[in-house]
Amino acid sequence: MAQRDGTATSRDPRRSLSVIVVDALPVVRAGLTMLIDDRPDMEVLAETGNADEALEIVGRLRRSRVVVLVGLGLGGQHDAYWLMRTVRERFPAHVILGCGGNADATTVSRALFMGADGFVDKNIDPVEFLQSLRRAADREMVLAGPASGSVGQIAEGLERRREIDVRLTERERQVLSVAAEGLTAREIANRLGIRERTITTHLARIYGKLGVGSRLAAIRIAARAGLVSVGPAD
């Protein structure tokens, strides 16, 4: 049994599938932990509601078959998508499974684009949920829940995001993401620690690359592709 304070414990050799549960809601984390730990072939190594703590936990692991279950409701500057992308970049051997409730195709495709190996909806049957964890651990692409019927739309969203991702530099994507919060150029500059004139230059280049004439149009394109979230961060 894993400790519940965010510290991973030694593995029970009888349990072949290890899971890290990351979700913003304590009750959800507790429920998922009880469900998973009840299976003889699974164990929860740790659970947390903080992305930075989750990354630290994953960094201490020395195992090749670990599923990092990430709730998409994880907000803040380091949100669920940041965690997915960071784990994928730093620890590519681990499996990342997004988890949410009634997620639409855009949300699911964004999670996949950021590095998730699949998605499970919290509304599915518990037996199907557990089977999805096993399939993901076996390196299968998992789409379980209402959004699984929108495979074509999800694939289209992924392709659109890849196109935008290739066109824009990392800094330009960062500027666009912050701009989507409704901040002014000066506020964006303060957030990113660069000059306001540099921000306006980045925005102009973004407009040109996306073929638009305004910030609102650029944000709309990026939001439809699921590359940014519109509105202030939680």
Find the CATH number of the domain harbouring 212: 1.10.10.10
Q: For 3-17, 125-139, 169-183, which range has the lowest pLDDT when averaged over its residues?
A: 3-17
Does any domain span residue 199? Answer: yes
Residues 116, 32 share a domain: yes
Q: Could you give the percent of the chain with pLDDT greater than 70?
A: 79
Q: For 19-23, 157-161, 212-216, which range has the lowest pLDDT when averaged over its residues?
A: 157-161
Higher-pLDDT residue of 154, 137: 137
Residues 107, 21 share a domain: yes
Mean pLDDT for the chain overall: 82
For residue 145, what pLDDT band results from cuts at 50, 70 and 90?
A: confident
Higher-pLDDT residue of 31, 232: 31
pLDDT tens by residue, 42-90: 999 999 999 999 999 999 987 767 999 999 999 888 999 999 989 988 8
Arithmetic mean of pLDDT, 95-105: 86
Arithmetic mean of pLDDT, 176-193: 90
Range of 132's domain? 17-150
3-state secondary structure of 121: strand
Number of independent structural domains in the chain: 2
For residue 149, what pLDDT band results from cuts at 50, 70 and 90?
A: low
Does any domain span residue 70? Answer: yes
Residues 195, 83 share a domain: no
* Three-point CA angle 128, 130, 135, nearest 5°: 90
pLDDT tens by residue, 186-232: 999 999 999 999 999 999 988 888 888 888 888 887 776 666 665 54
Across the beta sheet with 66-71, what order do the strands follow? 42-48, 17-22, 66-71, 95-100, 118-121, 142-144
Residues 128, 22 share a domain: yes
Residues 120, 39 share a domain: yes
Residue 23: closest CA among 50, 1, 3: 50
Residues 75, 184 share a domain: no
What does the pLDDT read at residue 95?
Answer: 92
Residues 181, 140 share a domain: no
Does any domain span residue 233? Answer: no
For residue 154, what pLDDT band results from cuts at 50, 70 and 90?
A: low
Q: Are 107 and 72 in contact (CB under 8 A)?
A: yes
CA 118, CA 97: separation in Å to the nearest integer? 5
What does the pLDDT read at residue 234?
Answer: 41
**Residue located via tokens 């540099």:** 198
Arithmetic mean of pLDDT, 151-158: 58
Phi, psi of 104 (to 5 degrees): -90, 175
What does the pLDDT read at residue 1?
Answer: 37
